[in-house]
Amino acid sequence: MRISPALPFAILLVGLTACTSAEGGPRSTAGATPPAKPGASAPSAPGAGNGSSFTISAALDTDAAVQARAGTQYTHRYTPATTVASGLTANVLDITGDGRLVVAGSPDAKSVDGVVQIEQSRVGIQDATAFKPFPPAHNGKCQNTRRQAIYADEQQDTVVWTESASTNLFAVDWCVFAYNPQSKTSALLGDSATIGPKEGMPEPPGTSAVTVGTSHAFWATAYPTPGKKPEFGVKIVARGINGGGQLETAVDRAKLPQAVGDTLFYVRSADIAPGFDAHRFEIRKRSAQGDGVVASGRLAEGQTVSALSATATRTTWVIANSDGETSTLYSLDLAANKAVSVKLHHPGPSTMHLRSTDTHLIWGSGSAAGDAGQYLYALDTGKLWRLGSEEGYSVVHAKGDHIAWAAIPDTAPDAKATYEVADLK
């Protein structure tokens, strides 16, 4: 398996940590929290029939996918440079609504006397010809100075991203920033050192990737539970994207946040909610109208919900199998309460990439073992297409009608990842 130098060392460690949590290997104690605060929503009753609250309208298998072709399923737009800002390696973190890329330019990690050293990333926007970094935060600095950007999300030109100084497999720190396109300024939204130890906390089950809504950014984090077992709980925190107010708890005992406007979708299951049925999960939605279940179902032994994506009309998630060679993707039409299922030929760990738009589902296996295909599912026709395949770096991004997927040339063992940026037809 090849690992691209474009993959920051910090995110590689985060990914490995996430894999061990989803796949039953060595794991930190994050993943359980104290009982919910008064007024928190209670678990829903089990669904009928096979235990799910929804029905399956179609069952697909990625083995049956057809190769997508330029000019038919998509139109090539550009191939971005693999280096930016005088030689920094470009790591693509997201695609924007107009088809540009959110990129972290990072110096390659070095090992000095067996100790990995990273340098500071520069996050900004890259298009076909240029890279424009965001300005430094105007309202403070993180306690850890050298960090690599590992996650980002863009909506309406607002970009929120996560940086980490961690090179420790079992302790991840984070600093979250936001760029405001109106004021053309950046703000520090949160620093994990204000919640837990400066050296970091366990990666929460799923991921700590940030998601941005209309007015707030959300992300999952572990947090200390002094005097209780286990030592860390998991919650979703939030802060206004302009940097105002304070970091606050959005939902306790929750993981995998996905913001859609002013609505927050998330997952509740036993790995982060003590006392919850170990063989069930819930996909929940919190809005101004309240907090409720949009989907629920059964989990077999060793299964977890490892990825979530959402739009205003559809939620999509992956059920991972810790000891298996396959997993299953479900995409639920919220109005019809009917889901499409897709058999995936890899375990489905939380390092996989899953994206959804109003018209398509797009996913890749990330760094998972097994099928490294990058797939595109058209919601209107029900057709499943294979965009490409990249073992160890099966990365995809999508927003609106724009998509990007990674490839590593075979020209050299240290070749940097390139991306195909395209418009859907």
Burial 285-309 (b: 16+ CB within 10 A, else e): bbeeeebebbbbbebeeebbbbbbb
Contact 35, 273 (CB under 8 A): no
Strand order in the sheet with 396-399: 74-78, 418-424, 402-407, 396-399
Rounded-to-integer distance, Cα 153 and Cα 130, Å:
20
Collapse the DSSP code of 377 into the 3-class scheme (helix H, G, I; strand E, B; otherwise coil) and give the result: strand
Task: Report the chain's mean pLDDT, rounded to a whole number.
Answer: 87
Q: Kindly report the length of the chain.
A: 425
Q: How confident is the model at residue 259 (pLDDT cuts 50, 70, 90)?
A: very high
**Amino acid making up residue 134:** F
pLDDT of residue 50: 66
User: Tokens representing 334?
Assistant: 């919220």
Residue in the block written with tokens 């600093």: 175
pLDDT per residue as tens digits for the range 319-378: 999 888 999 999 999 999 999 999 999 999 999 999 999 999 999 999 999 999 999 999
Q: How confident is the model over 135-149, as a mean pLDDT?
A: 88
Q: Please, what is the end-to-end C-alpha distance for the chain in angstroms?
A: 32
Superfamily of 9-32+51-424 according to CATH: Tricorn protease N-terminal domain (2.120.10.60)
Q: Is it the case that residue 41 has pLDDT exceeding 80?
A: no
Show the DSSP H helices in 46-188 as ranges. Answer: none
Q: Nearest Cα to 51, choosing from 279, 255, 322, 278?
A: 279
pLDDT per residue as tens digits for the range 6-21: 444 444 433 333 333 3
Q: What is the pTM of this model?
A: 0.88
Rounded-to-integer distance, Cα 63 and Cα 384, Å:
10
Contact 267, 255 (CB under 8 A): yes
Contact 162, 208 (CB under 8 A): yes
CA 263 to chain centre: 17
Q: Is it the case that residue 288 has pLDDT exceeding 80?
A: yes
Q: Which residues contact 237 (CB under 8 A, 6 or more apart)?
A: 190, 195, 218, 219, 220, 221, 247, 248, 249, 250
Rounded-to-integer distance, Cα 382 and Cα 361, Å:
11
pLDDT of residue 72: 96
**Amino acid making up residue 69:** R
Residue in the block written with tokens 């550009």: 78
C-alpha triplet 412, 352, 197: angle, nearest 5°: 100
H/E segment holding residue 280: strand 280-287
**Amino acid making up residue 156:** Q
H/E segment holding residue 12: helix 9-22
pLDDT of residue 372: 96
Q: Which residues contact 66 (CB under 8 A, 6 or more apart)?
A: 383, 384, 385, 386
Q: What are phi and psi of 370, to 5 degrees?
A: 100, -150
> How far are the Cα atoms of 103, 131, 219, 250, 294 from residue 255, in angstroms, in the given order?
25, 33, 8, 11, 15
User: Tokens representing 154?
Assistant: 């863009």
Q: How confident is the model at residue 409 (pLDDT cuts 50, 70, 90)?
A: confident
Rounded-to-integer distance, Cα 142 and Cα 162, Å:
12
Residue in the block written with tokens 């700590």: 208
Rounded-to-integer distance, Cα 17 and Cα 71, Å:
39
pLDDT of residue 12: 44
Contact 215, 240 (CB under 8 A): yes
Rounded-to-integer distance, Cα 39 and Cα 234, Å:
18
